[in-house]
Amino acid sequence: MDYEALKKEIAYHSRQYYVLDDPKITDAEYDKLMRELLAFEKEHPELVTADSPSQKIGGVILEGFESVTHEVQMQSLQDAFSREEVLDFHKRVTDTLGYSPTYAVEHKIDGLSVSLEYENSVFKRGSTRGDGNVGEDVTENLKTVMSIPLRLDVDVEYLEVRGEVFISKKNFEKINSERELAGEQTFANPRNAAAGSLRQLNSAVARERSLDIFVFNIQQIRGREINTHLDGLKFLREAGFKVISNDTLFDNIEDALGEIEHIGEIRPELYYDIDGAVIKVNDLSDREKLGTTAKTPKWAIAYKYPAEQKKTKIRDIVIQVGRTGVLTPNAEFDPVSVSGSVIARATLHNEDYIKSKDIRIGDTVLVQKAGDVIPEVVRVITEERTGEERVFAMPSVCPVCGSAVHREEGEAAVRCTDALCPAQLARSIEHFVSRDAMDIEGMGPNIVDKFLENSLIKSSADLYYLKAEDIAGLDKMGKKSAANLIASIEKSKGNDMSRLLFALGIRHIGLGAAKKISSAVGSIEALFTVTEEEICEIDDVGAIMAKSLVDFFERDSTAELIDALKGAGVNMLSLQDDTPVNDVLGGLTFVITGTLPTLGRKEATQLIESNGGKVTGSVSKKTDYLVAGEEAGSKLAKAQSLGVKVISEADLYDMLG
């Protein structure tokens, strides 16, 4: 078999297996063909072409991703959460057109949106959606996706299509099992896994993740005329793409709503995750008449299904003591798979929350992931109570140090009254060294605990007086690890004042407020003399934050801590450059809460602010988005009560690239 025939043979069988799910040969026979191809290309490297199946093996290591400007904007969809909102969409469409159009209804794949470009039927470039206008060139990683054809089965001068890269439920479980065995952090859900895989600089890693894709739209085409969405999907299938559609059109909105309901019913049986269904006007000339807004088409809408809820049993309610002394109750329940990930714990926020929902130890409860992100207890299934359930009571003493606890009037939080509580000290230092704060690499909770247990430190400032020989003898710390940690501590001395201010752990002062305050006052020293009124004049800094800041800097212990840090050579000045890279998020206000899968709060904040957005520390009616991670607390509940949109890190990637 000659080279061209061999490539076509392998491409045919790849499509049968990965796109049509109808293999015609065994895995062994396919592997034999691939070995034959690789052997030939090894002997004749000058003959290797861009459409060769060998290009799917991966192995290219990039220094970074180049930016790609999308000729056709990759818009997001308007969301609908109820039947009424879908009917409102239909009314807007019919009012504009003067008649009722035909609709297509499709699965909304929960993955990462990408653009694929072909010239003379050969795959040339693939990029992420990014902010819709500018994305990242991830061509080498997309080449490893077996369901993406490197050469089309039709002749076309130029074609750009849009698709959704995803990881199947089965492969997601396999990847997480392997990562768990290797001691690596598991992915929160398939979407995050797909996003992280596609942004790997080593394409071999992307290849190992078994990414898949569904293509759902033609962005641009030259050399062919397409008049309807259904015709476009038919063409995409003929070209060799994996397309998801039942080819059914709906002449009225009620039938389209019926299809949405049907998709919701079969959702758990699908081998991939969906987070909704999309209604699209079929006729492309109708779409032209309807037009678009700045970010969303007026001819389509995404119906989002309610959060998946599962039943489980609460085995215990345990208390976690935070760095500010707050005692937070957490429910520990039988592990259960919800919205693509296994959860076994959820915060119960405070005593009032537990009482309002009448949550007891031993209760059977419904749990969900709020915003498909944050585990939460929805309600108790009281009809399944046996009488053996136990009413929970907040402890009267701190479970860590045994000191009395106190609840201030008007507050829901119960706090440990001992400022020297080991839990507070440990959490305070963990916060100080975290990525959002002083960013001391290698200084995790276990290291903090070891330093405290061995009396090497009694405050955050003591870190800067450590020597490599002081810590090299600790368990699992060797000379090289000790030297690396000391170097990381030394490097942190040059951080901007805002990082230090946030690291101090002052109540109500988040990273955003710390940046604003640092930029306004210029130095840590100035904070010892500044007044509440002067602080309140700073944009987005209120009276509560101002009082908390001034109270903190009036303490003798604060002066001692700052003197020690200053004596160690820690920077006390503002070095900020507040100029955003662009204004993609201009006018939008974000709040970040919980632990994000891959981004530290500092990184997420920088990403938002460098694109013109604003990050604040508290949720209000002025907040546009809450970026929520695992273990989110009261900010999530407040956002939901105010109707603030809750998004995940993956959603943030979609908005920003």
Q: Residue ranges per domain, the chain? A: 3-56, 67-304, 309-394, 589-656
Rounded to whole angstroms, the Cα distance separating 351 from 379 reads 16
- The most confident of the ranges 265-279, 350-364, 604-618 is 350-364
DSSP per-residue string spanning 284-334: HHHHHHH-B-SSSBTTEEEEEPPPPEEEEEEEEEEEEE-TT-BEEEEEEEE
- Asked whether the predicted pLDDT for residue 59 surpasses 60, the reply is no
Q: What are the tokens at 344?
A: 């076994």
Rounded to whole angstroms, the Cα distance separating 60 from 52 reads 15
Least confident of 62-66, 264-268, 467-471: 62-66
CB contact at 8 A, 80 and 302: yes
pLDDT tens digits for range 121-134 = 999 999 998 878 88
State how beta strands 274-281 and 249-250 pair: unpaired
pLDDT at 518: 92
- Give CB contacts under 8 A, 24+ apart, made by 389-395: 389/360, 389/361, 389/362, 389/363, 390/360, 390/361, 390/362, 391/360, 391/361, 392/317, 392/329, 392/354, 392/359, 392/360, 392/361, 394/319, 394/327, 394/329, 394/351, 395/319, 395/327
- Asked whether the predicted pLDDT for residue 8 surpasses 90, the reply is no
Q: Return the CATH fold of 3-56.
A: Helix Hairpins (1.10.287)
Assign 148 a pLDDT band (cuts: 50, 70, 90): very high
Residue 108: active-site member:
yes
Q: What are the tokens at 539?
A: 């944009």
- Asked whether the predicted pLDDT for residue 595 surpasses 90, the reply is no
pLDDT at 202: 75
Least confident of 196-200, 337-341, 394-398, 493-497: 337-341
Assign 24 a pLDDT band (cuts: 50, 70, 90): confident
Q: What are the tokens at 43?
A: 């002997």
Rounded to whole angstroms, the Cα distance separating 358 from 127 reads 49
State how beta strands 103-109 and 249-250 pair: antiparallel
Assign 66 a pLDDT band (cuts: 50, 70, 90): confident
pLDDT at 542: 85
- Asked whether the predicted pLDDT for residue 75 surpasses 80, the reply is yes
Question: Which phi and psi (to 5°) does residue 643 adopt?
Answer: 80, 20
Which residues in 485-521 are b (16+ Cβ under 10 Å) and which e?
bbebbeebeebbbbbbbbbbbbebbbbbbbbbbbbbb
Assign 371 a pLDDT band (cuts: 50, 70, 90): low
pLDDT at 395: 93
Rounded to whole angstroms, the Cα distance separating 345 from 342 reads 10
**Average pLDDT, rounded, for the chain:** 86
- Asked whether the predicted pLDDT for residue 528 surpasses 90, the reply is yes
Q: Which of 188, 189, 210, 186 shows the shortest CA–CA distance to 198? A: 210
pLDDT at 408: 79
pLDDT at 410: 78
pLDDT at 175: 84
Q: Which amino acid is at 361?
A: I
pLDDT tens digits for range 276-295 = 999 999 999 999 999 998 77
| Architecture per CATH, 589-656 | 3-Layer(aba) Sandwich (3.40)
Rounded to whole angstroms, the Cα distance separating 77 from 60 reads 34
Rounded to whole angstroms, the Cα distance separating 463 from 433 reads 10
Percent with pLDDT over 70 in the chain: 92
CB contact at 8 A, 166 and 195: no
More confident residue, 654 or 488: 488
pLDDT tens digits for range 297-318 = 999 999 988 877 889 999 999 9
- Asked whether the predicted pLDDT for residue 539 surpasses 60, the reply is yes
| Helix and strand totals (H; E) in the chain | 23, 24
* Residues in CB range of 519: below 8 A, 6 or more apart: 498, 574, 576, 578
Least confident of 23-27, 45-49, 123-127: 23-27
Q: How far is CA 570 from CA 194, 494, 517, 523, in A?
A: 40, 6, 18, 12
More confident residue, 373 or 89: 89
Least confident of 195-204, 347-356, 501-510: 195-204
CB contact at 8 A, 239 and 156: yes
DSSP per-residue string spanning 550-598: HHHHHSHHHHHHHHHHHHTT---B-------S--TTTT-EEEEESB-SS
Q: Which amino acid is at 613?
A: G
Q: Residue 150 carries which DSSP code?
A: S
Q: In the 3-class helix/strand/coil scheme, how is 513-552 assigned residue by residue? A: HHHHHHHHHCECHHHHCCCHHHHHCCCCCCHHHHHHHHHH
pLDDT at 277: 94
CB atoms within 10 A of CB 473: 11
pLDDT at 182: 64
Please pick, among 7, 56, 108, 516, the residue that the annotation labels catalytic: 108
CB contact at 8 A, 86 and 80: yes
CB atoms within 10 A of CB 421: 21
Q: What is the CATH number of domain 309-394?
A: 2.40.50.140
Q: Which CATH superfamily is domain 67-304 in?
A: DNA ligase/mRNA capping enzyme (3.30.470.30)
- Asked whether the predicted pLDDT for residue 578 surpasses 60, the reply is no
More confident residue, 185 or 554: 554
More confident residue, 127 or 34: 127
Which residues in 146-173 are b (16+ Cβ under 10 Å) and which e?
bbbbbbbeeebeebbbbbbbbbbbebbb
Least confident of 39-48, 235-244, 511-520, 576-585: 576-585
More confident residue, 420 or 45: 45
Region 221-248: mean pLDDT is: 91
Rounded to whole angstroms, the Cα distance separating 77 from 281 reads 13
Rounded to whole angstroms, the Cα distance separating 461 from 565 reads 5
